[in-house]
Structure 1
Amino acid sequence: MGIPVIDLADALAPGSRRSLAVARQLREAATTSGFFYVRNHGVDPAMVATQFALAKALLELPAERRAALSMKHSPIMRGYESLGEQTLDAEMKPDLKESFYCGMDWPDDHPFVQAGYQTYGPSQWPEELPQARPTCQRYIAAMNRLSERIMQLMALSLDLPEHHFDASCRDPMVTLRMIRYPAHPADADDRTFGAGAHTDWGAITILAQDAHGGLEVQMPDGQWVAATPIEGCFVVNLGDMIPRWTNGLYHSNPHRVRNVFSGGAPRFSVPFFYEPNYLARIEAVPGTVTADRPSRFVACTAGEHLREMYEKTYGLQKAAGETASA
């Protein structure tokens, strides 16, 4: 079993000619690996290349400048994260990666910003890279469009109306992350990873990876399979909200990273994490709870779910004033 490649040609708009055929392919991937590549996705390759160039520039700023942008200064976890700050697999050593988080530009008077909801608010930007903010906002806008379309195709794959998830995805929670993995240490033990085995927390992740590879996906049979970079393709995976939304029908599979194929060079990747509206209700969609498949998950809001994951991974305490439910 491998990771399928899904061609989005003639399926990028509602009602497109190949929408149902693509939805069937998505369902097959979602009920097995929870991962798939997408090609002909409508995102300009030049935009992706520009985003990687920015990632390199950001993560090669002097150490003191990166530290000044630490995500610890941000109540919504925006900014720089240094090596070893995150441990995605609690049984392993801290992750060998550093990264920069940013998100959508939300106005100060937006009710979600005023409520202090996770991901809604300002990002931190380096003064010496004035292109950082507009570059990231253009990329986020492109990823938003693609994410919205994948959610529509997912609705079709579940025999639901194409626009079933649209309302839930207005004012979405999104995070753009630029990651730098140093070369894997020659003396590393088997508890050392760039990113330890984990599942993603939200709805979908769209990953641009450089040519070095190193991402591995665990299949339902337990086997680890390389998600080898394919030119012109993104890797898409389903996050933990999707099993809750589909009563376990669709999978969110573990994955991990080791930068062992770069010949000593750093590996860069740019994942985009897409989650629905903070107050969206996450509960089994019609048709997924049956006599043979009783309800498996407690309903919650998207915000409750995401905040729980942040606290688990970073050991955070609930922020003062944080609203836990709708």
Structure 2
Amino acid sequence: MAFDVATVHLDEFTHGDAAARDAFVRTLGDSLVETGFVKVDGHRVTRQDVDAAYVAARDLFALPAEAKAAYVMPKGAGGYTPFGTEHAKDSEAIDLKEFWHVHQDVPEDHPLFATYGANVFPDEVPHFRPAMMRLYRDLEDAAQTLLEAIAVYLDLPERDLADMVVDGRSVLRVIHYPPLREANVPGAVRAAAHEDINLITLLPAATEAGLELLDRDGTWHPVDGLEGEIVVDAGDMLSRHVNLKIPSTTHRVVNPKTDDLPRYSMPFFCHPRPDVVLDAPASLVGDDEKHFPPTTADDFLNQRLAEIGLT
């Protein structure tokens, strides 16, 4: 049987009749269970906004190294993370990338402002902030809707998962993979095999191919989305919270065959608020073993950030 990551249309869940919603939920959930990934169309993330974000990303990473270095923040926070900082869990080789984090933006009088702090944006690229915040909010909105559908698939209350991420610690990671002729390390790849930390990840189409997933039988498959599609995968927080009913899936970004191609991508890592407890609901345990003890999203995140070199 041919390997297939299903495509769903988000407007069938948000505006469809009961039959369309049921079909959406079933296809979405089954694809996540079987492959760990699903492709999403019919959302409100426009091509124009994605294109504007990629223009801003190219302008940002084209800045001189000393200009970008001025925006290096504590590891795992907002701002710039230089090339060669991050590595996959259990991997000694660095990933061949540099990136910028745009995190949750809350007002100064918000209870979580002291935890998140203010976002950092590059003065040299004034169009970076509006482009990224527009994309952040639209992806955040889509993520909540997808979490509603996942909850329905699991027979949980519809807002059970989505409420976890309201004002959550979600991050839009703007990534630049330089051409290999400029940045190559023996034995290293653009992003080594890993599972995402968060609940779900939403990835607008990258500028070049390279994303691959590992199927349940141990075979790698390319999984790049078409223009306009958002590729979605399940992360470790979701897998943990739902008692492995939806497993997280190993994926990677492989090196291109030529040494002159840069790659840009913008994954949105959807996170709960720091105090949210990851603990499988009783209905998802039943007579099965409960696979994980309770933990807060903050504790789990900090543990995983340490494992990948970001603390």
Which TM-score applies when normalising by structure 2? 0.92
Residue 179 of structure 1 aligns with which residue? 175
Question: How far apart, CA to CA, are the structure 2 residues paired with 1:198 and 1:168?
Answer: 24
Task: Tell me if the contact between 2:145 and 2:162 (Cα under 8 Å) persists in the aligned partners.
Answer: no
1:287 paired with 2:283, answer yes
SS of the counterpart of 1:179?
strand
Partner of 1:259: 255
Residue in 1 that maps onto 2:125: 129
Distance 2:218 2:300 in 1: 26
Deviation string for 1:117-171 (max 9, x for gaps)? xxx1212111121222222211111111101100100111101232222432222
| 2:216 corresponds to 1:214 | no
Q: What is aligned with 1:321?
A: none
Q: 1:50 offset after TM fit, Å?
A: 0.7
Query: Would you say 1:10 and 2:12 are equivalent positions?
Result: yes
Give the match for residue 231 of structure 1: 227
| CA pair 105-9 structure 1, distance change in 2 beyond 3 A | closer
Equivalent AA in structure 2 for residue 309 of structure 1: R
| 2:299 maps to 1:304 | yes
Residue in structure 2 matched with residue 323 of structure 1 by the alignment: none
Gap change, CA 1:315 and 1:82, over 3 Å in 2: closer
Q: CA deviation at 1:26?
A: 1.6
Amino acid at match of 1:163: R
1:153 pairs with 2:155: no
| Pair 1:68 & 2:70 matched | yes
Query: In the alignment, is the contact (CA less than 8 A) between 1:10 and 1:16 conserved in 2?
Result: no
Residues 128 and 185 (structure 1 numbering): CA distance in 2 closer, same or farther, change over 3 Å? closer
CA distance in structure 1 between the aligned counterparts of 2:185 and 2:22, rounded to whole angstroms: 46
Q: Distance in 2 between matches of 1:184 and 1:223?
A: 25
State the match for 1:46 in structure 2.
48
User: SS state of the match for residue 18, structure 1?
Assistant: helix
Contact preservation (8 Å) 1:197, 1:256: yes
Q: Shift in Å at residue 206 of structure 1? A: 0.5
Match of 1:34 in 2: 36
Question: How far apart, in 1, do the equivalents of 2:70 and 2:61 lie?
Answer: 13
Percent of aligned pairs sharing the same letter: 29
More helix by share: 2
SS of 2:135's equivalent in the other structure is: helix
CA distance in 1, matches of 2:147, 2:16: 11
**Equivalents in 1 of 2:186, 2:89: separation in Å?**
13
**Corresponding residue of 1:25:** 27
Unaligned runs of 5+ in 1: 317-326
Q: Does the Cα contact within 8 Å between 2:203 and 2:268 map onto a contact in 1?
A: yes
CA RMSD of superposed structures (Å)? 2.2
Equivalent-residue separation in structure 2 for 1:211 and 1:268 (angstroms): 5
Q: Superposition pairs for residues 313-324 of structure 1, below 5 Å?
A: 313-314=308-309, 316=311
In structure 2, relative to structure 1, the CA distance for the partners of 1:2 and 1:190 (3 Å cut) is farther
Mapped contact 1:259–1:267 kept (Cα < 8 A): no
Task: Return the letter of the residue paired with 1:85.
Answer: T
1:42-65: CA deviation from partner (whole Å, max 9, x where unpaired) = 211111111111111111111111
Alignment partner, residue 97 of structure 2: 97
Q: The residue matched to 1:173 in structure 2 has which SS? A: coil
Matching residue's letter, 1:299: P
CA distance in 1 between counterparts of 2:164 and 2:57 reads 30
The residue aligned with 1:319 is none
Partner of 1:320: none
Residues 150-159 or 33-42, more deviating: 33-42
Contact 1:184 1:194 in 2 (8 A): no
Q: Take 1:308 and 1:187, find their aligned partners in 2: how far apart are those partners? A: 29
> Given that residues 213 and 259 in structure 1 are in contact (C-alpha distance below 8 angstroms), is that contact kept between their aligned partners in structure 2?
no
Structure 1 residue aligned with 2:192, among 165, 175, 196? 196
AA aligned to 1:63 is A
